[in-house]
Structure formats: C-alpha cells, structure tokens
Amino acid sequence: MAALKSGIEQAPLRAALLGNPNCGKTALFNLLTGARQKVANYAGVTVERKEGWLTTPGKRRIRVLDLPGTYSLDAHSEDERITRDIVKGEHPREAPPELLVCVTDATHLRLNLRLVLEARALGLPMVVVLNMSDMARRQGLVIDKARLAELLGVPVIESVGVQQSGAKELLAWLDGEQARNLTPPVLDGQFKPLTGTNSRAQLLALHQQVAEIMGAAVQEPAAPTQRDDRIDVVVLHPLWGTLLLLATLFLMFQAVFSWAQPLMDGLEGLVAGFGQWVKGAMPDGVLRSLLVEGVIAGTGSVVVFLPQILILFFFILVLEDSGYLPRAAFLLDRIMGGVGLSGRSFIPLLSSFACAVPGIMATRSISSWRDRLLTIMIAPLMTCSARLPVYALLIGAFIPEKTVAGLFNLQGLVLFALYVGGILSAMAVAWVAKLATKAKTRTPLLMELPAYRWPSPRSLVLGLYERAVIFLRRVGGIILTVSIVLWFLSSYPSAPDGVTEGAIRYSLAGHIGQALELVLAPIGFNWQIAIALVPGMAAREVAVSALGTVYALSASGDDAMAQQLSPLIASSWSFATALSLLVWFVFAPQCISTLAMVRRETNSWRYPLIMAGYLFGLAYLACFVTYRIAVALGWG
C-alpha cells in the first residue's frame, strides 16, 4: 500500500494557468517552466498551445498548460472557447486540469475577480495567484489575503512573474499538504456558471459579488494609479503621444541597421571563411558545387541577417511587456477610424511587422467581422521580418553608409521610409475598402490598459531565443530545401563546350528566368531576379538565398560567391532596378504561409485569392511607376 501511495504521489500533476490578458500569466509560465516549453497549435484551429514542465523544490513533477487569455468563460472568440472547453472538461483532445491556477493582476484585481468567480463556480481544485503584488504595494493597495481566501473559499498566494524568485510562494504551496490533497471548492449557491438563458442577471450578480469582495478584502488608495496617469498624460496625448510613437518606431528601424552591423559583419566573415575552407578542402565536382554554391551560398546569405531580425523582435517584445501597446492602440483609434478600422486592429498589424501569420491569427480578438476581415487583408502590407534580408541586401548595396544631419543613419532612414510606405499603403487600401463598402458605423474600442512595468529580462531572452530557433529552422528547412532545388535547376543541363559566361543561362532555371523576363522587363527586372522571385514565393527571405545561388553559378570566375552578393548586384543592376525591387517587396504577396493562414482564418479560398490578386496588381503597378520615374531621372 505504501509503494502504491508513493507511485500515485509521484504521478505528474496537470495544472492550467487561467487569467485575463495582460495579467502577467505568460511571464509566470515562463518563470515556472523556463526552457522546458513546447509551443504548438491546438488540433484543427490556429490558437497557440503552450505547455511546459515544472519540478518543484520538493521534486514534484507538474505539467503546466498556459491557457489562452480570456476575460470570461462566457466565450465569444476562438481563444475563449478553447479555454472554456478545457476548464470545463469538454475539449476533445485535452484532459481537464487537476488544478486550476487563476492568475490575477493585483493592481487591477476588480477587473480580474469576475473570471475568478466564474472559474470557482466550476468546482475544480484551484488556487488564486495575486501576480504583480509588488506593484500593487507600491501603488498603496492593501490586499488582505486571508480575508480574500475566506471569501473565495480557495487559497490565495502572491507572485511577481518578472522576478527570478517571484514564484517562491507558489512553489512552496505546490509542495505543501494542501496541494498534495487537492479538493474541489465547496459551492454554496452563490457561485454559478454563466448560462445563455440568464447570463445577464448572473453578470449583474457577479459584479455585485466583486464589489462586495473588494470592499471587504482590499483597501484602495485615493489615487492608486498616479504614476500611470502622469505617464499617460503624455503617452495618450493626441500630439505628444503620436510624436512619441513615431520616435519609438524611428528608433527601432535605426537600431536594426546601426546596432546589427558589427554582428552581421562577424557572421558574414564566418560564412565566407567556411565556404572558402570547404572549397579548398574538396576536389572540384558536383558535390563541391552543391555544398558551396548551393547550401552555403544559399543558406549563408540569409543567416547573416539574424541579428537584424532579433533586434526588431527585441523592440516588439519590450513594447508588449511594458504595457505600451494597448495605449498605442487607443492613441491610433481615431486615426484608424478615419480609414474604416478601429484601434483594436493596431496590435494585429504591429504583430505583422514580425510576421503576418501571427498578426492574422491575432485578429481573432476583433469582434466585428468586417473589421477583422479588413485587418487580415491589409496585414501583409506591414513590413514583416522576412523582408529584412531583402531590404538589407539592397540598401547595403545601393545606399551609401553615411550620417544625415550628423545624427541619423541614411540606410536606417531608407528602411524607415519602406516601413512607412507599407503602413500608408495599408491605410490607403482600408480607406478604399471603406468607400467601396460604404461603411459608416465604427466598432467602439474597449480595452483594458495594463499597468506600466519593466519588461522581464528572462521573458525577453526566452522570446528572442524562440524567434532565433524559428528563424534557423526556416533556414534549415524551407531555405535549405529551396536552395538545393534551385542549385539543381541552375546546374542542369550543363552549358555547351566553349562558352565563357555563366552556365546557369543554359540551365532549366535560366530558361525559366529568361521567359519571365519578358513579363518583368517593363519594371526593370532581369532574368536573375526573375529566377529568385519564383522560389521566393515559399518565403520572402528565400529570394536572397536564391540570388546568392544564381550569382554564384552565374560567375565565370571562381571568386564570385554569395558572400560577395552585395557588390555583385551593385555592379550589375541599375539604381532604378534596385528601387523597383524594393517596391516589389513592399507589396507582392511573396509568402505562401500567409495565404494559407488567410484560408484557415476565413475558411474560404475566396479571400486568399483576392489578396494575392490585388497585392500582385499593386506590386506591378507601383514597380512600373517607380522604375519609369527613376529612369526619367537618369538613375536607369
């Protein structure tokens, strides 16, 4: 019996973190699980599933599930339905949790208690965690944990998700006797789940219970948010707030070039040295050509842009963790309303700066179908991180590296202009759609403003690590595969004897590129660019590796490798062609993953086909105008 009891005690505990958006739940999840995480999607839907493992100081193994954030178990969005089904035990592929950890923002406890009461009505074993408790104390909030636990009928503990020791009390509780002998809360009739028939009456009752609990267990200062209010006077000001937002974005794009260059130079040197070593260590032949001109020239020309991508993600993560993003959404609500959108579209669109795929997934928080669809359709116009390798290559080749006004990096200014061009284009498309649909009503923006807080260094490091792994997996997966396929198409059939130019012109890829050149010549593209655009449909950054492969195989000499790609194109393309190609990547839908995500989110092929059609049309028209103007100015 003792052995059986010991085996049962050692079985992993299934715990789920439940909480409102912006309550610090994911920061606490990262603190508990560290790098022992697995991120995927729930089967059949696009909602992200985060699971990790925790070993307590008492050696107890716990499987932790980070549920999608929700304000209520009365589900409306897909995220909320997933959370509701799991905690109610109704999810077909996810076992119900044995312990529900309700994470609350202690600085906004009134807004969080409604979800706690709804969860408590389910009768599951649960514990309430007062996260950000240090900030609550600094704001003058006094929370009587014992009284709160008595009123809720469940344990209440404190945590600080952004501090290394912030989960100490929670870990001690998980090792304690109460957590090892879990019992459901005793329901007393006051706590009832919301139902469709009387949810309005129950909602009013919930708010009344929240008010009573707050009055009995929480002492609020007269002005609990003085610091945040003082900051918001500037941040949410129509003029100063807008200028601050523009300055923040401007700094972000300046940093992408200025901060990353030393790291990029180091990576470029390593790739070049490795390529030369392989070339010298192997005899001339097909295998050496595959490795040097295909694998190293293809993947190496993309890997060097990893520092720029990580710097971009660093800024996005800092803005998100600091509590600034919801305020930027409020600030831009009126501006975006003028083109038929709401401020709620801002966060999905900003997420699209990293990648349009999660940006499109983030539109599920938009309740209006029209606003959501319009946000989805313009999300690819936001300049995603996959464009950075292309932009960096062309800007580095054609824009001189010099300082403007003694302060600003000229290359960073050009990059900023490309980002602004994408934003203005998206707003223009939304405005045209507004006129076409004759939309007159606007969806009001209701959003909780989280407290300002310092971003957690641990969460930043984990976030950057995840993005680096995702990028390198793409390099080792899609980009490596496409590079090898392109090398094969570019190498066979071989050139006739006696030719002095690159053999690729006589290959399958060369014939394809020369055929496409007939269509693309009016916008300034040569056959090498045409070849690169085709595999670039898999992912935008593949275009750089494709150019590296094409030019490595186009050269008649032995010294033209992908590591010299920038000077190669600078010497063989006109400035007008470079400008046209930059404009092409502002508009063209060079990403099959984005189109596939639109298909999944809209459950129709109609919208991805419309998206591809209008974006390709815009790209060709904008490139034609850009190229012709550049030629007229003598840049051709």
Q: Is residue 14 helix, strand or coil?
A: strand
Residue 62, strand partner residues: 13, 54
pLDDT: is 241 or 250 the higher one? 241
Segment 313-335 mean pLDDT:
79
pLDDT at 7: 43
CB of 203 within 8 A of CB of 195?
A: no
pLDDT band at residue 193 under the 50/70/90 scheme:
low
Same domain, 198 and 296: no
Q: What is the pLDDT of residues 139-155, one digit of tens each?
A: 788 999 999 999 999 99
Q: What is the pLDDT of residues 47-62, one digit of tens each?
A: 667 889 999 999 999 9
Closest CA to 104 of 133, 139, 80, 75: 133
Range of 366's domain? 242-438+456-632
pLDDT band at residue 1 under the 50/70/90 scheme:
very low
Alpha carbon 197 to its chain centroid, in Å, reads 38
Mean pLDDT is highest, among 262-276, 390-404, 480-494, 540-554, for 390-404
pLDDT at 611: 93
CB of 366 within 8 A of CB of 345?
A: yes
Amino acid at the residue 365: S
Same domain, 79 and 195: yes
* pLDDT higher than 90, residue 80: no
Is residue 443 in a domain? no
- The percent of residues in the chain predicted with pLDDT above 70, rounded, is 83
Q: What is the pLDDT of residues 420-442, one digit of tens each?
A: 888 899 989 988 888 887 665 55
* pLDDT higher than 70, residue 552: no
Q: How far is CA 485 from CA 285, 296, 489, 517, 550, in A?
A: 17, 14, 6, 21, 12
Same domain, 213 and 299: no
Closest CA to 592 of 519, 535, 545: 535
pLDDT at 560: 37
Q: Select from 182, 197, 224 the last residue of a domain.
A: 224
Place of tokens 């009928």: 153
Is residue 1 in a domain? no
Taking the CA atoms of residue 183, residue 184, residue 189 and residue 194 in that order, the dihedral angle to the nearest 10 degrees is 170
**Residue 385 to residue 593: CA distance in whole angstroms:** 14
Is residue 447 in a domain? no
Burial class (CB in 10 A: 0-12, 13-18, 19+), 255: middle
Same domain, 393 and 503: yes
**Residue 115 to residue 78: CA distance in whole angstroms:** 17
* pLDDT higher than 70, residue 23: yes
pLDDT at 557: 41
pLDDT at 572: 86
Closest CA to 535 of 465, 474, 606, 485: 485
* pLDDT higher than 60, residue 328: yes
Same domain, 353 and 218: no
Q: Select from 224, 254, 288 the last residue of a domain.
A: 224
pLDDT at 169: 93
Is residue 2 in a domain? no
Same domain, 211 and 247: no
**Residue 306 to residue 465: CA distance in whole angstroms:** 12
Give the CATH number, domain containing residue 148.
3.40.50.300
Q: Report CA torsion sign: 309, 314, 320, 325.
A: negative
Segment 454-479 mean pLDDT:
75
Closest CA to 341 of 315, 379, 304, 392: 379
Consecutive H or E run containing 50:
strand 48-55
Amino acid at the residue 591: C
Q: Report CA torsion sign: 168, 171, 177, 182.
A: positive
Alpha-helical regions (H) of 161-285? 168-175, 177-180, 199-217, 226-235, 240-258, 261-281
* pLDDT higher than 60, residue 347: yes
Consecutive H or E run containing 74:
none
* φ and ψ at residue 584, rounded to 5 degrees: -55, -45
CB of 25 within 8 A of CB of 72?
A: no
Those residues with Cβ within 8 angstroms of residue 239's Cβ, 6 or more apart along the chain or in another chain: none
pLDDT at 126: 93
* pLDDT higher than 80, residue 546: no
Amino acid at the residue 165: S
pLDDT band at residue 36 under the 50/70/90 scheme:
low
Identify the DSSP state of 283: -
pLDDT, averaged across the chain: 80
Structure tokens belonging to residue 244: 């601050």
Is residue 504 in a domain? yes
Same domain, 213 and 253: no
pLDDT at 45: 54
Structure tokens belonging to residue 56: 């307590």
Identify the DSSP state of 52: E
Segment 467-485 mean pLDDT:
71
Task: Give the count of beta carbons closer than 10 Å to the beta carbon of residue 320.
Answer: 18
Same domain, 205 and 333: no
Is residue 472 in a domain? yes
Identify the DSSP state of 260: T
Place of tokens 């920038």: 566
Peptide bond into 400 cis (omega under 30): no
Segment 497-510 mean pLDDT:
69
pLDDT at 62: 93
pLDDT at 550: 75
Is residue 235 in a domain? no
pLDDT at 501: 59
* pLDDT higher than 90, residue 624: yes
pLDDT-wise least confident of 323-332, 507-516, 555-564: 555-564
pLDDT at 48: 67
Cβ burial 169-178 (10 Å sphere, 16+ → b, else e): bbbebbeeee
Same domain, 269 and 168: no
Mean pLDDT is highest, among 118-132, 434-448, 534-548, for 118-132
Segment 109-127 mean pLDDT:
90
* pLDDT higher than 70, residue 595: yes
pLDDT band at residue 559 under the 50/70/90 scheme:
very low
Same domain, 219 and 246: no
Segment 411-419 mean pLDDT:
85
Q: How far is CA 403 from CA 134, 258, 399, 411, 421, in A?
A: 44, 11, 11, 9, 22
CB of 435 within 8 A of CB of 278?
A: no
Q: How far apart are the first and last CA of the chain?
A: 86
* pLDDT higher than 70, residue 553: no
- When divided into structural domains, the chain yields a total of 2
**Residue 181 to residue 520: CA distance in whole angstroms:** 71
Same domain, 171 and 274: no
pLDDT: is 503 or 138 the higher one? 138
pLDDT band at residue 561 under the 50/70/90 scheme:
very low
Is residue 17 in a domain? yes
pLDDT: is 230 or 630 the higher one? 630
**Residue 65 to residue 611: CA distance in whole angstroms:** 36
What Rg, from alpha-carbon coordinates, does the chain have? Answer: 28
Same domain, 311 and 183: no
